[in-house]
Amino acid sequence: MRVLLITAPALGHREGEVLAELHRGGIEVTRGEVATLDSDEVADFDVIAGPGSMRADTGLFDRCPGLRGLVSFGSGCEGFDRPAAAARSITIATGGADRSVRDMASATIALMLALCHDLPGAIAACAQGSRRDATRVRTLEDATVGIVGFGAIGRETARRLRAWGARVLVFSRSLEAGTLADGCESVPLDRLLRTSDIVSLHAALNHGDGPIIDEASLAAMKPGALLVNTARGALVDERAVASALHSGRLGGAALDCFAFEPLPANSPLRGAPNAILTPHQIGHTQAGADAMVRTFIDNIIRVATEGTRP
């Protein structure tokens, strides 16, 4: 079996570890760049592994007729054309590890608390030698939080929110309306937007999806509501969010991911009031990284040797 490993920025210095362990497992591995996917060099590979953002569509599948599996580093696979892969019996494996799920849920709660307690305002007030406006401070305990997307991280975040005493609403295309077993309530997206004090995005970004939060959805949200996105940048219309922050329609936003990364210097989000911007690393921990790398390696070996979905 031949595996093409596409460089993933999140792997960083761990790439050598991945290559070494795959070689020890008897897997023939070739390292490549994202640009490699657009060349005829891919023709002879059985498995392609790398970032979930790498483009894997019919064009790639035509250039690589023997492809039997795609493995993403992490839980996202927004660059993969899943229907086209399924039509060709190409296995897709993603790598969200339990530890990284817990770390991301904790980080999401931290961002919510930072917004509720007006951390940006407190930091600015201290820098100016003044005091912040206490009327801006809210409590998570009294909040209605809307979770958009109910995969592993969304579920873990909801579980933790319930422990804080928050009311939790959930929207997922795979759930019917009603009360869930953990006390959360599954509702339509329009109701979630209309009634939530905090909207937190945890949805997957599939090939061809557009933003969930755009001008129309922002207009539907409660005035002064808070927005948290620790999922994927393309779920948000960044220009619309920046405008809503400037107008006060949004009370604050904590964004850990962006349409283009690193966030461009001329992004409208830079300088927007009441915004917390972090470089798509808010939930990264050493323990989580170890678990992600281990899962990535195991998934590559399993797909390469068994051809079955992990």
Catalytic residue among 102, 167, 280, 302: 280
Distance from C-alpha of 227 to C-alpha of 205, rounded to nearest angstrom = 17
Distance from C-alpha of 211 to C-alpha of 141, rounded to nearest angstrom = 29
Q: Is 251 helix (H, G, I), strand (E, B) or coil?
A: strand
State yes or no: is 78 an active-site residue: no
Q: Determine contact, residues 61/55, Cβ cutoff 8 Å.
A: no
Catalytic residue among 28, 33, 141, 261: 261
Distance from C-alpha of 67 to C-alpha of 239, rounded to nearest angstrom = 39
Q: Which two tokens stand for residue 194?
A: 């209309």
Strands of 2-6's sheet in order across: 28-32, 2-6, 47-51, 69-73, 91-93
Distance from C-alpha of 230 to C-alpha of 198, rounded to nearest angstrom = 13
State yes or no: is 280 an active-site residue: yes
Distance from C-alpha of 291 to C-alpha of 310, rounded to nearest angstrom = 15
State yes or no: is 261 an active-site residue: yes
Distance from C-alpha of 126 to C-alpha of 309, rounded to nearest angstrom = 52
Catalytic residue among 102, 167, 232, 302: 232
**Which residues are marked as active site?**
232, 261, 280
